[in-house]
Amino acid sequence: MRVSIVGGSGYAGGELLRLLLQHPHVNIYQVTSERYRGKPVYTVHPNLRKSTDMKFCSMEDLEDVDLLFTALPHKHLMKNFDTFRDLSERIIDLSADFRLKNPEDYKKWYDIDHPEPELLKEFVYGIVEIHREEIKKTRYVSCAGCNATVTILSLYPILKSSFIDTERPIVAEAKCGSSEGGNKVSEASHHPERSGCVRSYRPTAHRHIAEMIQELGHPVHFSATSIEMVRGILVTSHVFLKEEIKEMDIWKLYRKEYWNEPFIRIVKTKSGIYRYPEPKILAGTNYCDIGFEVDNDRVVIVGAIDNLMKGAAGQGVHAMNVMCGFEETAGLKFTGLHPI
């Protein structure tokens, strides 16, 4: 299948390249970057040296393909949708431009009047575990935000259950790595400012909350903190129960929902140092690890992903596999590194 990547010089675009280069059913046709047009992709993504001799092209040079991945900053695809639609029957977007179903939410969370409100219902939200059947039938997928992905997957089984006390708040706190912010340099990403930080960067009103509410049907009190880590997110969520339940009941809920999922692992052991999910050992993998602990009428759920994989490119490739009828794990079999 002929596939191109728009925004290939970014961190998410680089991960798409890494995955698709070893995908058994994909030929990468073109990769765009305006800044690096004409330069080999390994000048920006040094890990790809000797994996490919491809060079970046400009968006103006794009030709027709079977599927287009778009990994541009927010608001670019929504404003230029016709151009991209003409190039490809299928589009998988990594930005926030088509994640939300209600156009009013774009006004509220992104301070923009969505230029293509009618198209919002044509995009399927990219979390395969929740929207597999819709993704099989669609042409357009909008991948979830990275923080939203891990928070939603962590909470989805328990919020579907009858155990939750909906009168009490659901609280989630994320620890985030620096690659979440993309490869654009800013004062906040300057090494002396970013290195070693534990910075509360969005204690309230994170835009991904809109996706959490949409997918979970429940408000989530979400805060995000930047920590010393390049890749990865760890989200610790607290939910309160109507009455005390046994740990085994939580096990059953999560097993029932995720047992057959190739990219979700329940991580909860009594001994060893990796007793709960930890982003470090997920680097480069498409797993979402989920663990939990019951404390009387509170359940603490811990979820971890690699933001550039399960939270972006890996999720996109998983959605492509489902959309195109490929084996779900094609191109996504990397098991991670230990020690790292």
Ligand X SMILES: NC(=O)c1ccc[n+]([C@@H]2O[C@H](COP(=O)([O-])OP(=O)(O)OC[C@H]3O[C@@H](n4cnc5c(N)ncnc54)[C@H](OP(=O)(O)O)[C@@H]3O)[C@@H](O)[C@H]2O)c1
Question: Please, where are the H alpha helices in the chain?
Answer: 11-21, 76-79, 81-87, 103-110, 128-137, 146-160, 191-194, 208-216, 247-258, 314-324
d(CA 290, CA 12): 23
Q: Of 106 and 292, which CB lies nearer to ligand X in the complex structure?
A: 106
Is residue 146 part of the annotated active site? The answer reads: yes
Could you say whether residue 100 binds ligand X (CB under 6 A)?
Answer: no
Q: Give the Cβ contact number of residue 205 at 10 Å.
A: 10
**94: contact with ligand X by CB under 6 A:** yes
What is the rounded distance in angstroms from the CA atom of residue 60 to the CA atom of residue 75?
A: 18
The site that binds ligand X (CB under 6 A) totals a number of residues, namely: 29
Nearer to ligand X, 157 or 314 (CB): 314
* Residue nearer to ligand X on the CB measure, 34 or 193: 34
Strands (DSSP E) found in 215-278: 221-226, 233-240, 264-266
Residue span 12-31 as binding mask against ligand X, x where in contact by CB under 6 A, dash where not: xx------------------
Q: Which of 146, 176, 197, 324 is catalytic?
A: 146
| Using rule CB under 6 A, residue 286 touches ligand X | no
Task: Find, among 87, 90, 55, 92, the residue nearest to 71 by Cα.
Answer: 92
Q: Is 126 in the site for ligand X (CB under 6 A)?
A: no
Q: What tokens does 46 get?
A: 């040094």
Minimum distance from residue 229 beta carbon to ligand X (Å) = 12
Establish if 306 lies at the interface with ligand X (CB under 6 A): no
Give the DSSP H or E segment for 200. Answer: strand 199-202
3-class SS of residue 17: helix
Q: Which amino acid is at 317?
A: V
Is residue 224 close enough to count as binding ligand X by CB under 6 A? no
- Give the per-residue contact string, 183-222, with ligand X (x = CB under 6 A; - = no): xx--------------------------------------
Q: Indicate which residues carry an active-site annotation.
A: 146
Chain residues that interact with ligand X, rule: CB under 6 A? 7-13, 33-36, 71-74, 76, 94-95, 145-146, 179-180, 182-184, 307-308, 311-312
